Every structure is written in structure tokens, then in C-alpha cells.
Amino acid sequence: MIAVDSTTHAAESQRPKLTSRLTEPRVYCALAALSLLLIIPAISGSTFVVHVFVTICVFGALSTAWNILGGYAGQLSLGHTAYYGIGGYTAALLLQHFGLSPWLGMPVGAVLAAAASLGIGYLCFRLKGPFFSLATIAFLEVIRLLAIHFNGLTGGSAGLVVPLNIGWAWMIFREKFNYLYIAFGLLVLCLALSLAIRNSRLGYYLTAVRERDNAALAAGVNITSVKLAAMSISAALTASVGAFHAMYLTFLEPETLFSVSTSIEVAMFALIGGLGTVAGPLLGTVLVMPLAELARGWLGASANGLHGFVYGTVLVLITLTVPGGLVGTFGRRFAALIDRLPGGGRRRSEVAARAPANISGALGAPILSARDLVKNFGGLVAANNVSLTLHRGEILGVIGPNGAGKTTVFGLLSGFLQRDAGAVEVIDRDGISRFPDTPDGFARLGVGRTFQIVQPFGKLSVLENIMIGAFLRHPKVEDARAAALRVAKLVGLEDVRHVEAGTLPIGGLKRLEVARTLATEPSILLLDEVMAGQSQADTQRMVKLIREIRDSGVSVIAIEHNMQAIMNLSDRIVVIDSGRVIAQGAPQEVVREARVIEAYLGKDFAYAQGL
């Protein structure tokens, strides 16, 4: 039987204590800047200034919540006010009909909005790019029209006035400053959640999904469920803010609560500040929002349209000049300045994890079996009854001429292609036979694959790329970092670990493919032409690395065009041509087979050689 030592050898927790973090300049500067949102209106004392700051907090919170979906996950929802409106109407209607305090209406609205977002997300996540955005707008329109139509419930276009019970229990005050406390609290809540997600496995997974969904799948990420997680958190926060804002405005109408242009504004603040950054959405709001409020306050109705015109123009200019937003473009330099302040520049100590225990088990027993796999692309039969078996602890080379169907077979063995017929059986770590059918399902069972055309997460650092793989077995960030560092050392990427992955040369990218896959700690490793584009020295190194991996108990299938390397490396060879397995056996036997020579070099050559 197979016994797998599953201890993960977690690195010692390196997370500094909260109190000691307060002395870090990034932390105390951020807190000081945030407190200005309370201090400035407190000093000024004007109700108009208080109103402007309440609005900043509300929109900053909305934008921060939107950014969890729109920025981290890259799903550009332009119908996000649907959740804002649901939160607002839920709180207001529960108050009106049942006398329920908005403090209770707020979580009810959040739950309703999260539920609605799961339904909307489940349907809309099938769509990409602009079509996702359009579908979210369409959902918002449907909700708005329904809110107008069912005027018995919502008051319709005529609107709904919130019952004016004064006091903390009812979230309605004579003293405007009390509103600011709540708005500020909501903003802090959104920021804290956003920061926590950013620095968690979910945050890394969202970035991975945004950058490259295929590579994320190969790292075992269930794309739909991480997107839905982001969507529902974002919707629940948005609804909570909506509930408060309804109490603040005391008047609800479908046109303003379910407004497309508000949705666009919220997304716009995030873009201006920096999509996918923690501070960006609030920064964008602080910079742009007061302009609009001041114009409205000073110029009144004569300036109707002015703020929208400025918003739209700024939006276009930002896309043309600093598409990364302010934080995305200048954030790093600014942070370096901050780090010079007292207490700054502390470096996280880096500890590499120990290697996971060797995978033990009966050598030579089948661990992955493909039976009669068939895959058609239109009229082309790319895999025609392919059967092959990988034995525990062996290196199986897959060779064949260009277009033979090798990569198709890999796709079928890793779940990336849906087979038309046949079965793939994987023996998991507990020795149980399994038949996974999704790419992430294969990855979770320990089948790791690399891509022939490299799939790095271009904007993440090399180490973060490897961490995406490491999260599969190490949910905690620090453990994943340590595990990734171990793998980076193993494949020789340690020196470039902080480099943005998109800037690596092809040899480095090939090794990064291997590293990200190795970090998932697979028991079966599928390597698709990892030696192509490598120098002679790198090839030697890769051969050595693959042997070491095998010696740690991992079973390997490698597609390779570098004949010398693959013959040298493999215990057994499978030859594929025109979608069929035409030969298999020990390397030296296979190369002498007439059919193999014919497949590679043609009939005439085989004939001329007298084979």
C-alpha cells in the first residue's frame, strides 16, 4: 500500500505581531492618511464639508468593494449598483413594513445581494470582456425596470421616503457628524476586507484567474468558485453601503438606486486610483469625488452635466496615459519613499520550506492509465484510441512528428480537453482509483502539467507565480511562500525571484512552467517540451532536475523533440503518429522500429536504409 507523508513542513509563522506592525511607516502613514477623513470635517465643522466627506467614504467604500471583483478578479461589472439598490431597498422596506432597525436590515440586504450576485455571476461568468460588462448592465436594467413596475412594493418611480425615526438605532441623525462615523466605519470594513483578501490565497488566485485562466486551472484553481467568492463578497459589501446610504439620503427611487452611471462612476474611481490595488479605489474617489460635489454645491443646476463631463474626460485620459491608475503607476516609487521613514525598510526574512517527503509506494505499479482515448477536432481525429499506462517512478517519453497529437494527448490526460470517448484513471495518494474530469480536478489529484506555449502570470513576480502553484498544498501565504522558495532554488530561479515574470527570457519561462507545476507537489508530472529553447547547459540541468524529481517518487511523462535528451532520460518511450500510438518500449528498441523511422523520416528513407 502507499503511504504518503503529508506533513507540509510549514515554515515558522513569520507574520509580525499587530503592535510591532504599527511602527512600520507604511502602516502608520496609511492610518494617518485615513484618519484625515474624520479630522478634516471635524475641524471645519461645516455641514457641507461633512456631507462631502460622508459621500467620499460611501463612494470610497463602494469602489473598494467593486475592486474586489473588478480589480482583483478582472471582471468588469458595470451593473454593481444592483447590489447597492438591493441593500438600500431591503433596509428601507424592512424598516417601513416591519419596523426593523436598519442595523438588522443591512445584513439582511447583504445576504440577499450576495445571493443575487451568485445567480448573476453563475450565468454571466460564461461571458468574457465587454460581453460580461454588457450582461451586468442588462441585469441592472431588468432589476431597475422591475423595481419601477412593482410600485406597490417599492413605491415605483414616485419613490419611497424612509420613516424618520431619529437615533442611533434607526441610523438617522440630526447631527450630521454621526453619519460620518458610520460611513467611515463601512469604509474601514471594506478596506480591511480588501486588504485581507489581497494577502490571502483567494487574492492570489483571483490575480491568477485574471492573468491566465489556463495556468490557474493547471495550478488546481477552481475558476468559477473563486470568481463567485469575489462576486459575493463584493456584492455583500456594496449592499451594506447601500443600506446606509439609503438611510442617509432618506429617499429611494429606482432611477438613482439602480443607476448605470453610478455603477460606472464607482468603477471609474477604482481605475483612476489603480485597479486591483488596495488603496487605489479610495485614492481615486478622494481625488475626483470632491470636484463633483463642489461643482454641484457652488454652481448648482447651471453646472448640470459638468461633473459628468469631467468624469468622462478624465476616464478617457486615464486610459490613454496611465492605464495602471495612480497607485499602479506610481505606487512602488511612493512606497519606497515611505519606507525611508523611521522604522521602514524592514525586510521579511525568507525561509525556504523543506522538501516534502518522498512519495513512496510500489514502484512499477500503474499510476495513470489512459484507455482508448478519442478526440476529434471537426473532421480531424487528433487522438485515435490512444491507450497508455504510466508506472510509478518511471520517466515515460512521448515522441512523434509535428502534428502527431502529442499535445492533444496531454490535454486529455490533464482534463484540459474533453475526450470524445475513453477514460483516464488516476491512482491518488491514498491508492484509490479516480476518474477526474476537470483540469483543476486533475491538479488536485496530483497530476501537474506544464504548457508547451508558456503561460506565466506576466504581472506577478517569479516567486508569486510559483506560489500560485504552492497554494494547492499550502493554503497559508507564508507556507506557500516558503514552499515556492524551495522550488525556485530547485529549478534555478532563485536569483530572479522578485523579477516580474513577463520579463523573463524563454529559457527562464520554461523553467518557471516547471517550477509552478512542481510547486503543486504533484505525484504525476506531465512535461510538454520543457527543453525547447533551452541552451545546452540548461538542457543538461533540466535532465538532471527531472531525474531528481523522479527520484523523489514522482512519475513523469515528458513530450520532447530533443531526441538525444529524451532517449537519455526516459525509461520507456511511446511513439505517437497521426493520433495513434504506433510503438512503445525501451528507447533503444523503439528507435530501431521501422514504423517509427517511417513516421519521422518518410517511407523512402526507411526503404533506402533497407529497413
Partner 1 sequence: MSIFVQLIINGALLGGMYAIVSVGLTLIFGIVRIVNFAHGEFLMVGMYAAYLLSAKFGLYPYASALPVTMLLFGLGAVVQRVIIQPLLSADEHIQIFATVGLSTALMNLALLIFGADLYSVPASTAQHTITIAGLTLVIGQLAMFACALALATGLHFFMKSTVLGRAIRATAQNRNAALLMGVRVERIYVIAFGLGAACVGLASALVMPLYPVTPTIGAYFVLTAFVVVVLGGMRSMYGAFWGAMLIGLVDSLSGYYIAPDLKEVVYFAIFLVILIFKPTGLFGLGAGAEGSA
Residues of this chain that interact with partner 1 (CB under 8 A) are 70, 74, 76, 78, 123-124, 126-131, 133-135, 137-139, 141-142, 145-146, 148-149, 260-261, 264, 267-268, 271, 275, 303-309, 311-316, 318-320, 323
Nearer to partner 1, 42 or 123 (CB): 123
| Residue among 138 and 169 whose Cβ is closer to partner 1 | 138
- The residue (of 133 and 534) whose beta carbon lies closer to partner 1 is 133
Instruction: Return the C-alpha cell found at 525.
Output: 508530472
Nearer to partner 1, 168 or 309 (CB): 309
Least separation in angstroms between residue 301's CB and partner 1 is: 9
3-state SS assignment for residue 167: strand
Non-local CB neighbours of 261 within 8 Å, separated by 6+ positions? 308
Ramachandran bin of 220, using left for φ above 0, alpha for ψ from -120 to 50, beta for the remaining angles:
left
Contacts of 137 by beta carbon, 8 Å cutoff, 6+ apart: 78, 79, 260, 263
Question: At closest approach, how far in Å is the CB of 115 from partner 1?
Answer: 18
Grid cell at residue 388:
497508455
* 330: Cβ contacts below 8 Å, ≥ 6 apart: none
Helix (H, G, I), strand (E, B) or coil at 381: strand
Residue listed under C-alpha cell 485597479:
275
- Least distance (Å) from partner 1 to the CB of residue 237? 21
Which CB, 71 or 87, lies closer to partner 1?
Answer: 71
Indicate the SS3 state at residue 361: coil
Closest CB 7 distance from partner 1, rounded Å: 42
Residue 105 CB, nearest approach to partner 1 (Å):
26
Q: How many CB atoms lie within 10 A of CB 245?
A: 25
Q: How far apart, in whole angstroms, are the C-alpha atoms of residue 157 and residue 144?
A: 10
Distance in Å, CB of 372 to partner 1, minimum: 26
CA 297 to chain centre: 41
Nearer to partner 1, 38 or 310 (CB): 310
Please state the closest distance from residue 279 (CB atom) to partner 1, in A.
19
In the complex, the smallest distance separating the C-beta of residue 20 from partner 1, rounded to whole angstroms, is 38
| 92, 253 Cβ separation under 8 angstroms | no
Nearest Cα to Cα of residue 52 among 308, 294, 301, 303 = 294
Output 262 or 539, the one with its CB closest to partner 1: 262
Distance (Å, rounded) from C-alpha 84 to C-alpha 497?
A: 41
Residue nearer to partner 1 on the CB measure, 264 or 467 = 264
Shortest Cβ 262–partner 1 spacing (Å):
11
Rounded to 10°, the helix 306-321/280-299 angle is 150
Closer to partner 1 by Cβ: residue 144 or 511: 144
409 close to 435: Cβ distance less than 8 angstroms: no
Question: Which CB atom, from 132 or from 442, has the smaller least distance to partner 1?
Answer: 132
In this structure, what C-alpha cell is assigned to residue 364? Answer: 512499477
Question: Would you state the torsion angle of the CA atoms of residues 310, 312, 314, 320, taken in this order, to the nearest 10 degrees?
Answer: -150
The distance of closest approach from Cβ of residue 376 to partner 1 in the complex, given in angstroms and rounded to an integer, is: 13
